[in-house]
Amino acid sequence: MGGAQAPTPLMLKRFLYRLYERQLLSEVFRRPLPRHLGLIQDGHRRYAREAGLASLAEGYRIGAEKTEELLAWCAELGISTVTLWWLSTENLARQPDEINDVLRVIEEKMAEWIRGGLVQRLGMRVRPIGLLDLLPVGALNALRAAEGATRGHDRMLLNVAVGYGGRQEIVDAVKGHLRDCFARGERPEEILGGLTPDAVDKYLYTYDCPDPDLIIRTSGEVRLSGFMLWQSAYSEFYFCDVHWPAFRKIDFLRAIRSYQHRHRRFGR
């Protein structure tokens, strides 16, 4: 008579992983959670090369699937605002084939999220931010379609930064403020007197969001590279060595736990 099969090392590893994940989840629920999470999803190309994938495009597709998991994790914790940096203004200068791969994945995922019901399940409103006019028509239309289809959702706001640069956002905000001042016929001294941080805040791409409490960057890079320069003045940062497509829920929960154990003084 055969007995029960002995657990394999892989089965044991998976069991321990799930056990550790539940422990982390229980721990983070005991402390205040971030309201706004910013994420620099780095490492798609390095992951594709190290994993021996057929093309860099496969790395981007796996990364997009990981993004879906990340959004579900955020919804589970009740994080109401998420900002993802998908493509910088500098990225647009890369080789056309590579940029086309990224944009194709964006187009596919925007349509899939609507068709497959992800945005409905999470109650997620999608808002593209950045220099969107620099994008090809197909990618721009896909982003605008997602924005329109999710306009009434109110459980989570997802800012998708595409063609985004932090310096450009600040310049655009100042321009917007000055444009309205000129339209009101204000004198130079009035304009200068009214140019305050609060005035600029109102013209940022994320004008209606709290500043990010936590910004996570994957793939071992320890810098912001221009991400949310204005809004991140008092954010907490977490840098993770894992490439984005390999980012796990325990990596996410460790980042949240690290944030929760810091004393935030907001410059005071």
Give the three-class secondary structure for 157.
strand
Give the three-class secondary structure for 206.
coil
Closest CA to 159 of 33, 34, 37, 72: 37
Asked whether the predicted pLDDT for residue 1 surpasses 70, the reply is no
pLDDT tier at 4 (50, 70, 90 boundaries)? low
The pLDDT of 159-187, averaged and rounded, is 97
Overall pTM > 0.85? yes
Structure-derived torsion over alpha carbons of residues 242, 245, 250, 256, reported in degrees to the nearest 10: 80
Give the C-alpha separation, 262 to 28, whole Å.
Answer: 13
C-beta separation of 132 from 205 below 8 A = no
| Positions marked active-site | 42, 91
pLDDT tier at 3 (50, 70, 90 boundaries)? low
Domain coordinates in residue numbering, the chain: 37-260
pLDDT tier at 132 (50, 70, 90 boundaries)? very high
CATH homologous superfamily of domain 37-260? Decaprenyl diphosphate synthase-like (3.40.1180.10)
